[in-house]
């Protein structure tokens, strides 16, 4: 079975007041203005399994109204946004679980089985690479312990880490391969950054998807400050 699989941080409206979005068309910066555009990007992926980060309740409601998806939503503690897994209707899901990380940060993870593979979705908290007791490493270790060492697996994530950073090094040691390697997948205050991963272990996978000018997002074509990552995965 081949599954088109995607990871996409959709940029929650509540974060538009942070960072530098001075280059963005002001009509995209009001609450709810980007929802239809985000749904269009999601539809264009033609994916079977999608892990969204920073999804909020209005987006969840709009996606459920399309009746295209099985939806699994897990908000962060004390936040209006969280993780949303979209599974094409008719695709069988087993062993779904979501939980907060045990560090008290309020950040969360989701995981489920489709076929014999684990699909996990998460948004890892940022920390400087040189930080001792790195929160991203702690959270990723907890996620890996949940997934286990044996099952084939896919991780869909905004891992908030840079090339050769501690989180990505940990995933490499655990035999995960990020199909997007060191490519910039987001912009932070106009600076391209390789924050997102679509990582696989024990599965055949081929990278797909359009290329975007990361330096200009969010824009009408892609109304988020992250690009969607897309792959075809044999399960």
pLDDT band at 211 (very low <50, low <70, confident <90, very high): confident
pLDDT digits (tens, 9 = 90+) for 35-84: 999 999 999 999 999 999 999 999 999 999 999 999 999 999 989 999 99
Q: Among 18-22, 35-39, 223-227, which stretch is predicted with the lowest mean pLDDT? A: 18-22
Q: List the structure tokens of 73.
A: 């939503």
List the CATH number of the domain containing 146.
3.60.10.10
pLDDT digits (tens, 9 = 90+) for 99-155: 999 999 999 999 999 999 999 999 999 998 888 899 999 999 999 999 998 889 999
Contacts of 145 (CB under 8 A, 6+ apart): none
Whole-structure pTM value: 0.97
Residue 229 has pLDDT above 80, yes or no: yes
Strand 81-88, strand 196-201: pairing: unpaired
Percent of the chain with pLDDT over 70: 100
Pairwise CA distance, residues 156 & 54, whole Å: 13
Torsion of CA 19, 192, 53, 26, to 10 degrees: 50
Q: Which domain holds residue 169?
A: 2-234
Residue 50 is inside which H or E element, if any?
strand 49-56
Pairwise CA distance, residues 143 & 155, whole Å: 9
Average the pLDDT over 168-189 and give the result: 95
Residue 167 has pLDDT above 90, yes or no: yes
Give the Å distances, CA to CA, from 229 to 81, 146, 183, 188, 192: 20, 23, 11, 17, 15
The total number of structural domains that make up the chain: 1
């Amino acid at each position: 079975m081949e599954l088109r699989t995607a990871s996409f941080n959709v940029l929650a409206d509540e974060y538009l007041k942070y960072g530098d979005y001075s280059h963005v068309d002001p009509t995209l910066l009001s609450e709810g203005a980007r929802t239809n555009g985000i749904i269009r990007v999601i539809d264009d992926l033609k994916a079977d399994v999608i892990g969204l980060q920073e999804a909020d309740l209005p987006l969840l409601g709009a996606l459920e109204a399309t009746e295209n998806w099985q939806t699994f939503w897990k908000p962060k503690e004390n936040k209006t946004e969280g993780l949303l897994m979209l599974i094409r209707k008719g695709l069988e899901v087993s062993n779904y679980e979501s939980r907060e990380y045990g560090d008290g940060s309020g950040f969360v993870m989701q995981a489920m089985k489709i076929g014999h593979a684990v699909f996990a979705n998460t948004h890892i908290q940022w920390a400087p690479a040189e930080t001792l007791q790195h929160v991203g490493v702690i959270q990723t270790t907890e996620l890996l312990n949940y997934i286990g060492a044996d099952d084939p697996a896919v991780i869909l994530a905004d891992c908030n880490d840079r090339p050769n950073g501690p989180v990505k090094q940990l995933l490499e040691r655990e035999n995960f391969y990020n199909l997007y390697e060191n490519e910039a997948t987001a912009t932070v205050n106009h600076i391209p950054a390789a924050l997102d991963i679509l990582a696989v272990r024990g599965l055949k996978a081929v990278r797909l998807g359009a290329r975007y000018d990361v330096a200009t997002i969010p824009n009408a074509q892609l109304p988020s400050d992250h690009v969607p990552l897309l792959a075809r995965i044999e399960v």
